[in-house]
Amino acid sequence: MTRKLTRRSLIRTAAAASAAIVVPAVSRAAEWRPTQTVKIMVAYPPGGLTDVMGRVCAQYLQSVWGQSVIVENKAGASGTIGALEFVRSKPDGHSLFVGNPGPNAIASSIFRNSQFKPQDFLPAASLIRVANIISCNPNLPVKSIAELIAHIKANPEKISYASSGLGQTPHLTMAWFLQLVGQKMIHAPFRGASPALAAVLGGQVDVLSDNLFPTLPQVNEGKLRALAVTSSQRITLAPNIPTMKESAPELANFEITSWFGLCLPAGANPDIVNALNSAINTMLATDDFRKRMAEFGAVPTPQTPAEFAAFVAAEGVKYADIVKKEGLELDPA
């Protein structure tokens, strides 16, 4: 029997992942180690996936380094308050940041007078990626992305979609989709995922663009109809849902995920970067971590520092292009 996953159980599952991770008996005598308490900055409130990943990493790194590692939540202004405080930290390895698309790939191109740049962050260790999902109210007469495109063409500027807010990845997911297929929809931005979900469930809005959770449980219960996931591969939790890439020729290069990784302030010594990367990649390789992340559709993505930095830079270019074509310019809120 498949266990029902809710957003609350998702957070409990992820938080429990670190508790069972066994630290390998590998000598790290030659590697850099912190000499005082390490602070992991989370630029969002407690309880979300960014916060969960920060706490998973904190518990693991503390067990590896034998040094206190704490999480500090500094929420506000779409993640920019915590990000700005972090980039002003000393690059001595005692300040880390849980990076994600918002502050690390979108903020500098979408917010007026951004006080930090992507170059202020040094991507050190990739963590996980999670697909977003496009779904619709079951009363909408479409069962695929191809049918959605045809329905939009037949009803120009009459079909609506909900997102968790302007400039968030669910919004930019749909913006890019519509740019690529040359169509327009009515955007209904909400303050958060919950009211956006409620609007589509209630039939006030036709289509929902959101993170995998809490949408997938609604799909499994038949309250929403899944149209596609935005990752490059189908997800193990719902292998029958196609990807955007396979849904239409115009979307052959489409890929958007919610990704997470640890960053250091720019200027950190390579020894610090390599030590952090090594520790995190060891965590990602543990069977328990991988199994627990798979329970909510997250894919561990071990990379070298150079690979992760290249990925983050490419994400910045992708989102900057989407934002420019949309003509978006926002104030942090």
In total, the chain counts a number of residues equal to 333
pLDDT of residue 77: 84
Cβ-Cβ contacts under 8 Å for 249 (sequence gap 6 or more): none
Is there a contact between 127 and 153 (Cβ–Cβ < 8 Å)? no
d(CA 96, CA 42): 9
d(CA 200, CA 205): 5
Q: What would the mean pLDDT of 162-177 be, rounded to a whole number? A: 95
Is there a contact between 69 and 62 (Cβ–Cβ < 8 Å)? yes
Q: At residue 247, what are phi and psi to the nearest 5 degrees?
A: -90, -20
pLDDT of residue 157: 87
Domains of the chain are 7-130+257-326 (3.40.190.150), 131-251 (3.40.190.10)
pLDDT of residue 17: 53
On the 0-12 / 13-18 / 19+ scale of CB atoms within 10 A, 91 is middle
Q: At residue 163, what are phi and psi to the nearest 5 degrees?
A: -140, 170
Q: At residue 91, what are phi and psi to the nearest 5 degrees?
A: -85, 50
d(CA 82, CA 103): 9
DSSP symbol at 105: I
The predicted-structure confidence for 200-257, as pLDDT tens digits, reads as follows 999 999 999 999 988 999 999 999 999 999 999 999 999 999 999 999 999 999 999 9
Which alpha helices (DSSP H) does 49-204 contain, by range? 49-65, 80-87, 101, 107-110, 145-154, 169-181, 193-201
Cβ-Cβ contacts under 8 Å for 44 (sequence gap 6 or more): 50, 51, 73, 75, 79, 82
pLDDT of residue 29: 41
The predicted-structure confidence for 111-167, as pLDDT tens digits, reads as follows 988 899 999 999 999 999 999 999 999 999 999 999 999 999 999 889 999 999 999
* Residue 163, beta-bridge partner list: 189
pLDDT of residue 27: 42
Of the two residues 262 and 26, the one the predictor is more confident about is 262
Is there a contact between 72 and 37 (Cβ–Cβ < 8 Å)? no
Q: What would the mean pLDDT of 268-286 be, rounded to a whole number? A: 97
Both tokens of 249, joined, read 């020729």
Q: Above 90 in pLDDT, residue 288?
A: no
Is there a contact between 180 and 198 (Cβ–Cβ < 8 Å)? no
Is there a contact between 206 and 200 (Cβ–Cβ < 8 Å)? yes
pLDDT of residue 67: 96
On the 0-12 / 13-18 / 19+ scale of CB atoms within 10 A, 289 is buried
The predicted-structure confidence for 85-107, as pLDDT tens digits, reads as follows 999 999 999 999 999 999 999 99
Q: What would the mean pLDDT of 40-52 be, rounded to a whole number? A: 93
pLDDT of residue 57: 96
pLDDT of residue 25: 42
Residue with tokens 């390579």, as numbered in its chain:
270
Residue with tokens 């610090």, as numbered in its chain:
272
Sign of CA dihedral 140, 146, 150, 153: positive
